Amino acid sequence: MSEPTVGGPPLGEADPFRPRAAPGASGDGSAPERASNGAVPPLPGREPTPPDDGAPHVVTRRHRRRASRRRNVIEWVLVIVGAILVAVLVRTFLVQAFRIPSESMSPTLEKGDRVIVNRLSYKLHDVNRGDIVVFSRPPGLPAGADQPEDLIKRVIALPGETVQTKDGSIYIDNRKLNEPYLPKGTSSRDIDTPVTVPAGHVWVMGDNRANSADSRVFGPIDTDTIVGRAFLRIWPLNRLGTL
């Protein structure tokens, strides 16, 4: 019968109770040594750690600030350019502000008032009686020094209608025209014989009948010369309102 052995396992056999060394550690259990360039030897299945040479690996705060400023400048340039383009398109196709140059539309519009004109109105519908319109100065009324190229008047008669003054009132096709926008007692004169408005034209007059160079002077105007319909007075503020 054999005697029990005392001590560790037989030579050449692993001791099942001895802790195993960590992967990559030296046989005596110490930490892995660094290479001469500072890199740590790779563990099995892992990439080697790069040497600590002091090179930056992230964008500095200064670079981030510069990039942010560049983005802000580009954004503001785009905003300004876009605003200018929108303003040009609106002014060209939609609305435009005009300054009243004279007293010919008083008291509805006084000299120096500013109005907004809808340039799109008459592309959508015909001109209506009573509309206040801005139009190019007609050939029958040449512009003098410092006089505007555009005029503003009220539409009185439409294509094919006859217009005439009788007893201080306007008559359209022999029927008296009701003009509630005129001050009480206003007298309309100087159209003693009926005038027929040709096709594609309208008859315009200022509300200040005694002091207005209008169709009584230069005749009916071509509707193609109409810039648009004035619909809003924006200045002065105490007279802000629709027309």
Which residues have a catalytic role annotated?
Answer: 104, 153
In which residue are the tokens 């140059």 written? 101
Do 228 and 120 touch, CB atoms closer than 8 A? yes
Do 32 and 41 touch, CB atoms closer than 8 A? yes
- Residue type at 162? T
Which parts of the chain are beta strand (E)? 95-99, 114-118, 132-136, 150-157, 162-166, 169-172, 175-176, 195-196, 201-205, 221-222, 226-235, 241-242
- Residue type at 79? V
d(CA 117, CA 229): 5
- The CA distances from residue 52 to 25, 56, 66, 240, in Å, are 21, 10, 28, 74
- Residue type at 193? T
Helix residue ranges, H only, the chain? 61-93, 121-124, 215-218
Q: Please, which residues bridge with residue 221 across strands?
A: 202
* Tokens matching residue 76: 């503001």
